[in-house]
Amino acid sequence: EYARPYGADLALRNGGAIRAAFPRGGISLGDILTMHPFGNQVVLREYDGEQILDALEHGVAADGGVGPHLLQVAGLRYVVDAERPAGSRVISVDIVDTEGGHTPLDLKARYVVVTLEYLVRGGDGYEMLKKGRELPFPQPIDVDIVEAYLRAHDPLPSPSTGRIVRMDKGKSGV
């Protein structure tokens, strides 16, 4: 939501950057800092669809397709089967527009992505994200964006489902 006015199509964040869940009821600045303790700088980059797919595949390559490398997303949804060989675990990816419509990821198309500076420096092995084209953006800290979002959307609605769908045996959607 914060980056849409700057042209962002989607957002990517490594699961390891999220260290706690929000409590039920009121959410304090302390709760936000517990959830996001690193003070990550938020950046805007342009990638092609192939780079995005490579990043999603990297996120599900180890730990049975779960864990801190799993990319948490907004503006897209993807289907994973972690029982498939690494490199072919992402079955499908759709870009989701602001109206809820979706189109398949085009590997040759260019997409504007809001993400963390940590990832674009190759953190957690996301080497493919080093290759994005830098775009003008205020580069706020993640905690500031989350705090502003919570103020604007109080009370916080239930999160949408279906962003990450697991097809492996015995697993449910994320």
pLDDT of 68 strictly over 70: yes
C-alpha 31/C-alpha 39 separation (Å) is 14
pLDDT of 114 strictly over 60: yes
pLDDT at 172: 52
pLDDT at 23: 74
Average pLDDT over residues 25-48: 86
pLDDT at 28: 83
Copy the structure tokens of residue 69.
């490398």
Average pLDDT over residues 116-135: 96
**Tokens 């990297």 sit at which residue?**
58
pLDDT at 65: 80
Q: What angle do CA 49, 134, 99 make, to 5 degrees?
A: 50
Confidence of residue 171 (pLDDT cuts 50, 70, 90): low
Confidence of residue 21 (pLDDT cuts 50, 70, 90): confident
Nearest to 114 by CA among 56, 59, 46: 46
Buried b (16+ CB within 10 A) or exposed e, 63-100: eebbeebbbbbbbbbbbbbbeeeeeebbeebbbbeeee
Task: Give yes or no for a contact between 69 and 125, defined as CB atoms under 8 angstroms apart.
Answer: yes
| Average pLDDT of the chain to the nearest whole number | 89
Task: Give yes or no for a contact between 10 and 74, defined as CB atoms under 8 angstroms apart.
Answer: yes
